[in-house]
A and B are shown apart, each in its own frame.
Chain A
Amino acid sequence: MPFRLLKFALSKEHPEPRMFRQPDRLKSNYDAVIIGGGGHGLAAAYYLARDYDIKNIAVLERGYIGGGNTGRNTTIIRSNYLTPEGVKFYDESVRLWQDLSQDFDLNLFYSNRGHFTLAHTDSSLRTMRWRAEVNKHFGIDSELVDPSEVQKACPMIDMTCGGHAPILGALYHAPGSIARHDAVAWGYGRGADLRGVEIHQQTEVLGIQIESDRVTGIETSHGTISTPRVLCAVAGFTPRILDMVGLRSPIQIHPLQAMVSEPMKPWLDPIIVSGSLHVYVSQTARGELVMGASLDPYELHSTRSTLDFAEGLAAHMLELFPFLSHVKVVRQWAGMADMTPDFAPIMGKTAIEGFYLDAGWGTWGFKATPVCGKTMAYTVANDRNHDLIQDFSLSRFERYELVGEKGAASVGH
């Protein structure tokens, strides 16, 4: 029993303060306003306050903190991407992740499980070798392994996948991890709040004021505020915010669904991903299997669930793990993924002065939470794109300088 739990038994009152305050009203001006109280927005607020001494910040959240994609993803954290830009960026994120529980003094259940991406075709083996080689070049623990390694790590898996898609090998990424997603938002939220940041929940942005291509203020459901700097970190709602400032982006919104089983005793240690079978799965500390698949193949601004998704994912789960036939699915849900053409994010400064973008997070946003916070804080504080995000700017689409992360990001998780 850790000592720190002693206080709960010894004190008469519950000895914990609020993790974050609920400010009564918006002030009339802020040094910076962050739209979106998800992991990304709160992380940016946290690092702005901690590292750049910018504390007069409002985080505006339409619903409740961590209620968007931060709380809807399948919590996989990894850095085995394909492009040098991506690899360096996510590697920094993984590094930050590993210390967050201690930094926050809040246990995020950052659980290092190892991550296997299964190959069922020789073309996927080729792409995985490419990823492994690029990863290793940048010092990331990533390798192409034989089917025997998959079997060793997960002896109960059906190596033939029902005879349809034999496992030919896998990309193994030892640092692959999962974490308790909600707690990430709370940790950053508490850290930001402690340093003076105001978190305004149930506060919707209605418009953004711009004068001669400069941000000057924001209209919200609770009044208008003036600010010289606005960071937009709203994932699936990005197109709506961009409409307010008249910027165009190639982002398309696709639903991304997931589901979770009843808890069972632990049996699945690593994270298993199969692009061909459209499955990714891990077992949480509570014993549930968290399962996901690929994006819905059409654009839709909605978080409704579909039956086809549950049916398809279940069928593929049983191809990999036929013995789960009696295991029951408790719940399914969906998020809105803001997809970009090259499967890389859109970050940094924009054509509008003082308007910064943290978007295009598609299906890979959760794992990037810490590094996004850090690099966006730098970018907002210095009005200069951080080195790690130079290649992710919105203007790359006009410049034909795409990042080409599709091979590692689609159904990658």
Chain B
Amino acid sequence: MNQRRLPLISGEWIDRSQPIEFTFEGTRFTGYVGDTIASALWASGQQILGRSFKYHRPRGILSLANHDVNTLMQSGQKLNIRADVTPLEDGMTLSAINTFGGVMGDRASAIEFFSPFLPVGFYYKAFNSKRLFPFWERLIRNMTGLGQVDFSTPHIRTAKRYDFCDLLVIGAGISGLSAALSAADLGADVVIVDESARAGGSGHYQLGNDPLQLEKTNELLSAVENHPRIRLYTQTQAAGYYADRWIPLLDRDRFTKMRAKTVIAATGAYEQPAVFRNNDLPGVILSSAAQRLIYRYAVKPMNRAVVLVANADGYRAVIDLITNGVTVVAVVDLRESSLKSDVAQTLEQQGISIFLGYCVYEARANPGRDGVSAAVICPIDVNGNPQTGFRQTIACDGIVVSVGWAPAANLLYQAGTKMRFNKRLQQFVPEVLPSGVFACGRVNGVFEFEQKLIDGHRAGLEAAAHLGFDSQIEVTISPELESPSHPWAIVEHPAGKNFVDFDEDLQYKDFLNAAQEGFDNIELLKRYTTVGMGASQGKHSNMSALRILARITGKTPGEVGTTTSRPFFHPVPLSHLAGRGFTPEQRTPLHSRHVKLNAKFMLAGMWQRPEYYAQSGKSREECICLEAQAVRHQVGIIDVGTLGKFEIRGADAAEFLERVYAGRYSKMKIGTTRYALMLDETGVTIDDGMIARLGAEHFYFTTTTSGATAIYRELSRLNTLWRLDCGIVNLTGARSAINLAGQYSRDVLSKLTDLDLSSVAFSYLAVRETHIQNIPVMLMRVGFVGEWGYEIHVAADSAPALWDLLLEAGFEYDICPFGVEAQRLLRLEKGHLIIGQDTDGLTTPIEAGLEWAVKMDKSFFIGQRSLQILAKRPIKQILIGFMLDPNFQGTPPQECHLIIHGNEIAGRVTSVAFSPILNRHIGLAYVKPELAAIADLISIRLSDGTIVSATITPTPFYDPETSRQQEDVTQLQEVTV
């Protein structure tokens, strides 16, 4: 099977002692450890490795450099595997993606027959009938797409890590290695990465049979490998460049986020295809790919080659081919006159014809259509037009192309480098590099081996100097003797199929046609033709597209400019980006207690809170009802540790609170609490809580659970802005809180503390710092749920002990833990609103009935000015209470059902629940003010359109006199807000 495998090649990557069995499209193949999928298949004579995107034409190896997008494969759950670079693994079951009936007999290749009907952008010009589009769309969707997702693929959690270095060198070719060594020698801590399996780059394969080059490369590599200050990572790609030299490094198992003090891009260049008819046939390959096949994988690319050249690299490739047994039947040089190098003379001596000023006009397919049977060549004129009258056909089974390069400058562009088109080199080279970023080697326009060594050395010294190491930079780079890239390796052909973009099957004429339609600047051209939008992101096509556009518009490539380069360099798997998937979850200190009590948890922001406590044999609703009843009739206990909890101290603490909250706090007595409402600058209600005064310059206050983070951020910002003499501490996580409510709450508490709990000593809304047993606590007398109650604030780590004590002490009173749902019901019965549920992004305190908590006569608070303006305007809606008929039988309304009046929207329900104690549905709703009269009826429309009638009712629904929170025996004067 290994018919194309060469005898042992010095330095080959394959391990012949370890054969690997695999299948491709159902056929068994053998390769070796060290092979890529493509090299193993090519070695076995399998030339069709995939099918193209649009016409389903057979495709083989093009670059062998991670942009052979036409040879994407599927193996089990892995899709869109790049066969050209993916290491072969034992037992792989491979198939080509997006074929209809297999890669050898793809039925969809019939599309090519219709290609004259399918010009560039054809899909914009047809299928647009409103009626028929869905039909066409289904067809198109099924034809496109690449690999198949396997829904059984597990959630893969890839490790991430952070790393740091003085210098990150991207690319371990000759210049990169040289740069790393020079900087490290001066003391820099260097990381050098390369996406290939081994470092050395073209030093190992673009040899031109020069043993000295190989030796030098290996010496350099060994120096780098053994350097104490250099870390070399192969099979690691720099996936993008983000601000401040933040570079994700991707290997098979890991995603490393590297923060480098300096960066050297030694990223090399992409060899570019020549554009001629059938330039996509398997067997038409880039010279660097042919050399990689030989020197890395010991695979003979073809037997008889025509080599199309336009640079010195091409002649070196010819030597490498000949040395390794390929018969070179002709060298076709696009240039009118090339340097009469020793190489050329040697070749001529060997009887190899060199055609100067010639092009390959077309490649002919073999009868099996899996390769080349001949190259048709002809002379070109000064403008690059083929002189077809002088065609000759040369039989061969492969065409090697070496006509030019495009800099792999993606990361440099992302870094903000200004590039300039160097006409002599026919290449974009860095002109202005960002601070701390350097470039060397081919990406910098330096191609020759010795020069790359020097250029790398220079970049290394410059980076070291930037880092503050003592370095003298006196380096001169000799200019290239001849241009590495041909300005126009593009040959027109009346029958087309001269591909510019292999990903997207774009032919030369597609560009002319797009420009004719007005898409004649590079960005529009890209979007209309989709050039460079395929999976290789234009690595082999952007440069040609740019040259074509330049010629059409009469500009230079530099004037045409390039499209924006964005991450990623090569596509990055979601699993690598996602990492382990950090999903923070907040649990209160009492979480384990809730679990033991069978709590059903719900998400409140990031907090896990008990929605209710499940009881066997009872429904959710029954459980919630029982919890609520326990609070009304005995005593209940709820974990309110998720509230935002803050402390503010300082001479200006009271002043600060006066400014950020709408009420008045400076005259609060020590030992009292007060409701606090927060507004934004537009007068909208955004948060509420309780403020407790613990000292003259010391307050403790709470916010809503969901508001805690944002409010703290905003308060910190304001404190910075105003420069008042006070400091805020966020105690949300450090403190916990438990609410004890119900007529026996005082009895329970009195078992555990010596504090006088009588109303005289500890009135409603008072706050006391005391101990429960030996646990220091802060007690606030509150009444959110409408019963006698205490909010007990405690250090987080004492909360479980406190909870246990309270449950134990409450046992004789049938104490019952209750969850968020019961609390919501209880507060609704009491007519208390929840910010965020009973208010929205535009609700003012006036609308929400919270004016009592706003002191307009203060000198300043946030939102005051807006409220002053709003006070002069008619109010748009008002929060009212409503009740359904006690005998109501149907489906009750839900929150956010609309109030309808005269067929118009007149408001909405914000809260609704069945109240067991009132034995009817009660709720809160916004309505237009003119509809808000007590005892009037409102119409609520349910989701199915049914109208439910409700009566507007004053709130609180339950215990309007607040007798439940007063002393039974002696009616004492209450402190009110």
Contact = CB atoms under 8 A, between A and B. Distances in A.
B495 interface: no
Nearest to A107: B128
A153 interface: no
Nearest to A83: B842
A329 B896 contact: no
B841 interface: yes
A180 B603 CA distance: 38
B387 interface: no
Given A305-B567, A315-B578, A329-B577, A406 B130 contact: no
A287 B118 contact: no
A265 B146 contact: yes
Contact of A16 (B516, B582, B870): B516
A121 B603 contact: yes
Interface stretch (B119-127, B186-194, B395-403): B119-127
A153 to B, nearest CB: 15
A102 B517 contact: no
A220 interface: no
Interface stretch (B72-80, B101-109, B638-646, B750-758): B72-80
Nearest to A17: B517
Interface residues of A, number: 100
Contacts of B800: none
B148 interface: yes
Contacts of B837: 123, 126
Nearest to B243: A304
Interface in A133-176: 133-134, 137, 143-144, 156, 162, 164-165
Contact of A325 (B119, B155, B894): B155
Contacts of B513: 14, 16
B722 interface: no
Contacts of B341: none
A390 interface: no
Contacts of A99: 130
A324 B153 contact: yes
B137 interface: yes
A224 to B, nearest CB: 24
A147 B583 CA distance: 22
Contact of A5 (B122, B840, B841): B122
A264 interface: yes
Contacts, number: 281
Given A14-B119, A333-B566, A286 B145 contact: yes
Interface string A277-306: 000000001110000000000000000111
A4 interface: yes
Given A5-B122, A285-B140, A328-B572, A20 B149 contact: no
A129 B896 contact: yes
Contact of B571 (A8, A84, A130, A329): A329
A305 B248 CA distance: 13
B524 interface: yes
B246 A319 contact: no
Contact of A8 (B118, B145, B840): B118
A278 B777 CA distance: 39
Nearest to A21: B518
Given A127-B896, A326-B78, A262 B146 contact: yes
A201 B521 contact: yes
A322 B154 contact: yes
Interface residues of B, number: 99
Interface in A392-413: 400, 402, 404, 406-407
Interface in A215-235: none
Contacts of A287: 141, 144-146
Given A162-B583, A305-B567, A330-B571, A133 B896 contact: yes
A98 B529 CA distance: 25
A407 to B, nearest CB: 7
Interface string B132-168: 0110110011101111111111111000000000000
B149 A404 contact: no
A331 interface: yes
B537 interface: yes
Contacts of A105: 128
A304 B240 CA distance: 12
A55 interface: no
A207 interface: no
B573 A327 contact: yes
Contacts of B77: 326
A64 B524 CA distance: 7
A407 B148 contact: no
B842 A19 contact: no
Contact of B517 (A18, A120, A286): A18
A289 to B, nearest CB: 9
Contacts of A330: 535, 537, 568, 571
Given A107-B128, A264-B149, A311-B578, A71 B527 contact: yes
Contacts of A332: 566-568
A65 interface: yes
Interface string B723-739: 00000000000000000
A115 B68 CA distance: 36
B124 A106 contact: yes
A101 B123 CA distance: 12
B125 A19 contact: no
A389 to B, nearest CB: 19
B655 interface: no
Interface in A2-33: 2, 4-6, 8-9, 14, 16-22
A36 B568 CA distance: 29
**Which residue, of A17, A106, A123, A317, has the highest number of chain B Cβ atoms within 10 A?**
A123
Contacts of A317: 574, 578
A120 B79 CA distance: 31
B111 to A, nearest CB: 11
Top 5 closest A-B pairs, CB basis? A287-B145, A322-B155, A328-B571, A314-B577, A9-B116
25 contacts: A14-B513, A71-B527, A84-B905, A105-B128, A111-B133, A126-B895, A133-B941, A133-B943, A162-B581, A261-B574, A266-B142, A266-B145, A267-B149, A287-B145, A306-B242, A307-B242, A314-B578, A318-B574, A322-B155, A324-B574, A325-B573, A326-B77, A342-B841, A400-B870, A404-B842
